[in-house]
């Protein structure tokens, strides 16, 4: 009796382990075939989160009760004959998107106990589709950062090496996907915040075209570049999640009035089995840059060879203005941040300091205490660059150089279908290695700023492993594919072909 | 671009940020250093180039000017978020002294 029980325990452990290692598509198919219920699946993820989150700190809030309720509701909908790609599927949401019933902190002391008054449009869409929100993931405070070390609630650890950063600012979501703590996640990208962590954690991350997905309910950072996008185990998964969250939204007038066609992304993936007929541009400036490490350079070049083997044509292209991407981004971002964060004033919500003599002190002390160092740094920088006498030299100048950067890559994309290159110059660095130098951290975005400034879609895909600058264990390396505006379909189809041919993204960290 | 301590204090005031002496000194050096890096933008010739205000290409997205009241649950959540309350009112310091 006791031996049989032990065998049963072991078997159920294997089944549970198996459930959380499924891709979003496998999960969806499995639920549809009634192989398991959403409640079973959700419990499996919640158990795994309970076991692993203390050492990873991927989730800031685990919404146990509401997740199980949503799972139960999804199972009931399924019993009535309903089916959909996200019905009953457990998803993680970056904690800068508003979720009614689940606190939303932006990883800041300013909003430590904030209960949102409405759902972000993307949250509403995935809830309507029957998704189960497992919880809210960690980020650099207000999405300011490239390592998740700026979180007021501790950094997230890279599941491949707990002494290294997961990248940022969507580090929590990336780690959650890499560690099988969700079937898929939502992240946001302003200057690389989906792509960077996807690259460092060896998962798929899609920075969507500006205007493809509604920003309503996303706590605003840089209004002219912020986007929300999927972070998943495979490109096909990203396609499924994107199909649900994309589209025009009356609450965000910067969304493109035409929504994607039904099954647009899935059809694009199914319609392509090789890369014949596609042209890829390799920016000479990127592969020649001194900051690019040997390991990442090798992995990127191998990926380019693979693209050729799959039938793609490789062309050398030049992006001379792209090198100004970082200084442009770091004028525009702090400027827009300084405006967007002015709403956090201790009046209507969030932290209000108690040691205040008058209204002015309510503002200055609530903000002085509630905001972390990087937030304050960016607010200060932006206040300066937008101030009287400096606006022309800084913000206006930056927006003009932005026009040159955007025009340049858009012209290139008339002659190629995608620009291909690395996500980052190196693999994940050690926690604490770069916190002394804010500028060094800003340079993490060197290959990612261009797509953000031009509003173009960009897909990050695992493309192998490489040695870090200091260390003997290899870490994931990411490949970046930048496409034409609203051409996520082509990028996802390319990603799917590449993934299937190479098998990158299949291996998982041992936890 | 080296910032003076007074300039940093002025920016902090404009930004409504209460900073310690240590923070003011730290931001003074960090901001100066970042602004120096940004100065390379001055070497780009932008004569006749239009600034990018937004990348959507959309113009004048209008909607009917109709007020929509939130449902009671949303309204209650808004009120519950007030840091200090008196009934359904947000209690704040005097605006005028």
- Does the annotation mark A193 as catalytic? yes
Asked whether residue A11 carries a pLDDT value surpassing 80, the answer given is no
Instruction: Residue A442: list chain B partners with CB under 8 A.
Output: 34
Q: Which helix (H) or strand (E) holds A9?
A: helix A2-21
Q: How many CB pairs under 8 A join A and B?
A: 171
> How far from the centroid of its chain's Cα atoms is residue B38's Cα?
20
- Distance, in Å, from the CA atom of A34 to the CA atom of A30, rounded to the nearest integer, reads 6
Q: Say if residue B24 is preceded by a cis peptide, omega within 30 of 0.
A: no
Q: Which helix (H) or strand (E) holds A480?
A: strand A475-482
The residues pairing with A187 across neighbouring beta strands, listed in sequence order, are: A229
Asked whether residue A26 carries a pLDDT value surpassing 60, the answer given is yes
Identify the residue among B93, B94, B96, B97 best suited for mutation to test binding to A, counting A beta carbons within 10 A and taking the highest: B93
Q: Which helix (H) or strand (E) holds A70?
A: helix A64-79
Structure tokens at A107: 């990883």
Question: How would you class A9 by CB atoms within 10 Å of its CB: exposed for 0-12, middle for 13-18, buried for 19 or more?
Answer: exposed
Catalytic option among A147, A193, A209, A297: A193
pLDDT at B68: 85
Q: How many residues are present in chain B?
A: 97
Structure tokens at A51: 């076991």
Contact residues for A12 (Cβ-Cβ < 8 A; gap 6+) = none
Quote the Cα angle for A406-A412-A415, to 5°: 150
Question: How would you class A103 by CB atoms within 10 Å of its CB: exposed for 0-12, middle for 13-18, buried for 19 or more?
Answer: middle
Q: Which residues of chain B have pLDDT under 50?
A: none
Cβ separation of B54 and A254 shorter than 8 Å?
Answer: yes
Closest alpha carbon within chain B to A365: B18
Identify the residue among A103, A117, A388 best suited for mutation to test binding to B, counting B beta carbons within 10 A and taking the highest: A117
Q: What is the pLDDT of residues A62-80, one digit of tens each?
A: 999 999 999 999 999 999 9
- Does the annotation mark A94 as catalytic? yes
Catalytic option among A108, A169, A216, A458: A169
Structure tokens at A66: 């509401």
pLDDT at A485: 97
Q: With an 8 Å Cβ cutoff, is A116 touching chain B?
A: yes
- Distance, in Å, from the CA atom of A508 to the CA atom of A499, rounded to the nearest integer, reads 15
Cβ separation of A324 and B40 shorter than 8 Å?
Answer: yes
Asked whether residue A1 carries a pLDDT value surpassing 60, the answer given is no
Whether residue A482 contacts residue A283, with contact meaning beta carbons closer than 8 Å, is answered with: no
Place A113 in a pLDDT band, splitting at 50, 70 and 90.
very high
Closest alpha carbon within chain B to A359: B93
**Of A416, A423, A461, residue with least CA distance to A318:** A416
β strands within A390-445, DSSP E = 418-422
Instruction: Residue B1: list chain A partners with CB under 8 A.
Output: none
Identify the residue among A384, A446, A449 best suited for mutation to test binding to B, counting B beta carbons within 10 A and taking the highest: A384
Cβ separation of A211 and B14 shorter than 8 Å?
Answer: no
The residues pairing with A164 across neighbouring beta strands, listed in sequence order, are: A430
Asked whether residue A229 carries a pLDDT value surpassing 70, the answer given is yes
Residue A149, SS3?
coil
Provide the shortest C-alpha distance from residue A449 to chain B (in Å): 14
The residues pairing with A479 across neighbouring beta strands, listed in sequence order, are: A422, A461
- Distance, in Å, from the CA atom of A198 to the CA atom of A252, rounded to the nearest integer, reads 26
Q: What is the DSSP string of A191-253?
A: SSTTHHHHHHHT-EEEEPPTTTB--TTB--S-TTT-EEEEEESSHHHHHHHHHHHBS-BTTBT
Q: What is the pLDDT of residues A432-483, one digit of tens each?
A: 998 888 887 878 888 999 999 999 999 999 999 999 988 899 999 999 999 9
Computed over every residue of chain A, the mean pLDDT equals 96
In A392-411, the residues whose Cβ lies within 8 Å of chain B are: 393-394, 396-404, 406
Cβ separation of B31 and A400 shorter than 8 Å?
Answer: no
Cβ separation of B56 and A400 shorter than 8 Å?
Answer: no
Closest alpha carbon within chain A to B7: A384
Q: What is the DSSP string of A332-392?
A: HHHHHHHHHGGG-SSSSSS---S--SSHHHHHHHHHHHHS-HHHHHHHHHHHHHTSTTTTI
CA distances from A12 to A9, A40, A329, A366 (A): 5, 11, 50, 50
Whether residue A482 contacts residue A409, with contact meaning beta carbons closer than 8 Å, is answered with: yes
Whether residue A269 contacts residue A496, with contact meaning beta carbons closer than 8 Å, is answered with: yes
Count of C-beta atoms within a 10 Å radius of residue A498: 24
Cβ separation of B41 and A401 shorter than 8 Å?
Answer: yes
Instruction: Residue B53: list chain A partners with CB under 8 A.
Output: 224, 399
- Does the annotation mark A72 as catalytic? no
Instruction: Residue A402: list chain B partners with CB under 8 A.
Output: 51-52
Q: What is the DSSP string of chain B?
A: -PPPHHHHHHHHHHTT----HHHHHHHHHHHHHHHHHHGGGGGS--TTPPP-S-SS------------PPPHHHHHHHHHT-SSEETTEEP---S--
């Amino acid at each position: 009796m006791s031996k049989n029980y032990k065998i049963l325990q072991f078997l159920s452990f294997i089944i549970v382990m198996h459930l959380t290692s499924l891709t979003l598509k496998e999960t969806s198919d499995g639920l549809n075939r009634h192989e398991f219920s959403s409640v079973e699946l959700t419990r499996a993820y919640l158990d795994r989160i309970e076991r692993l989150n203390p050492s990873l700190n991927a989730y800031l809030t685990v919404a146990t009760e509401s997740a199980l309720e949503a799972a139960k509701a999804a199972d009931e909908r399924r019993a009535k004959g309903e089916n959909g790609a996200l019905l009953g599927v457990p998803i993680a949401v970056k904690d800068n998107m508003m979720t009614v019933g689940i606190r939303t902190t932006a990883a800041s002391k300013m909003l430590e106990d904030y209960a949102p008054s409405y759902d972000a449009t993307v949250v509403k869409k995935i809830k309507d589709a029957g998704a189960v929100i497992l919880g809210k993931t960690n980020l650099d405070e207000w999405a300011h950062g490239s390592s998740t070390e700026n979180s007021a609630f501790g950094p997230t650890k890279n599941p491949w090496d707990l002494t290294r950063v997961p990248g940022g600012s969507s580090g929590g979501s990336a780690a959650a996907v890499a560690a099988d703590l969700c079937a898929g996640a939502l992240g946001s990208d302003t200057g690389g915040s989906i792509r960077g962590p996807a690259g460092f954690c060896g998962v798929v991350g899609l920075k969507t075209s500006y205007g493809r997905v509604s920003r309503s309910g996303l706590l605003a950072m840089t209004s002219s570049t912020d986007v929300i996008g999927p972070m998943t185990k495979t490109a096909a998964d990203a396609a499924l999640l994107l199909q649900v969250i994309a589209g025009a939204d009356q609450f965000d007038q910067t969304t493109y009035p035409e929504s994607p066609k039904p099954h647009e992304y899935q059809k694009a993936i199914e319609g392509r089995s090789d890369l014949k007929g596609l042209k890829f541009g390799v920016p000479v400036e990127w592969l020649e840059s001194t900051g690019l490490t040997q390991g990442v350079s090798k992995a990127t070049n191998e990926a380019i060879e693979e693209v050729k083997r799959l039938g793609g044509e490789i062309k050398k292209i030049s992006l001379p203005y792209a090198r100004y991407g970082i200084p442009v981004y770091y004028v525009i971002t702090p400027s827009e941040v300084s405006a967007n964060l002015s709403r956090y004033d201790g009046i209507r919500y969030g932290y209000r300091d108690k040691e205040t003599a008058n209204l002015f002190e309510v503002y200055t002390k609530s903000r002085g205490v509630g905001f972390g160092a990087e937030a304050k740094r960016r607010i200060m920088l932006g206040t300066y660059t937008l101030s009287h006498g400096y606006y022309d030299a800084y913000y206006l100048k930056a927006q003009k150089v932005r026009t040159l950067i955007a025009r340049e890559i858009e012209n290139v994309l008339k002659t190629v279908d995608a620009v291909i290159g690395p996500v980052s110059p190196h693999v994940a660095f050690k926690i604490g290695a770069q916190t002394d130098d804010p500028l060094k951290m800003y340079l993490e975005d060197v290959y990612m700023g261009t797509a953000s400034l031009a509003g173009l879609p960009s897909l990050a895909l695992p493309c192998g492993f490489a040695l870090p600058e200091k260390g003997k264990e290899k870490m994931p390396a990411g490949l970046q594919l930048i496409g034409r505006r609203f051409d996520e379909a082509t990028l996802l189809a390319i990603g799917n072909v590449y993934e299937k041919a190479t098998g990158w993204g299949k291996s998982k960290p041992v936890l | 671009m080296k910032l003076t301590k007074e300039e940093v204090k002025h920016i902090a005031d404009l930004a409504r940020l209460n900073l310690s002496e240590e923070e003011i000194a730290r931001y003074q050096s960090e901001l100066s250093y970042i602004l120096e890096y940004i100065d390379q933008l001055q070497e780009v010739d932008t004569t006749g180039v239009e600034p990018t205000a937004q990348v959507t290409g959309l113009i004048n997205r209008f909607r009917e000017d109709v007020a929509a009241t939130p449902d009671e649950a949303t309204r209650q959540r808004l009120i519950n978020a007030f840091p200090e309350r008196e009934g359904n009112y947000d209690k704040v310091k005097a605006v005028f002294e």
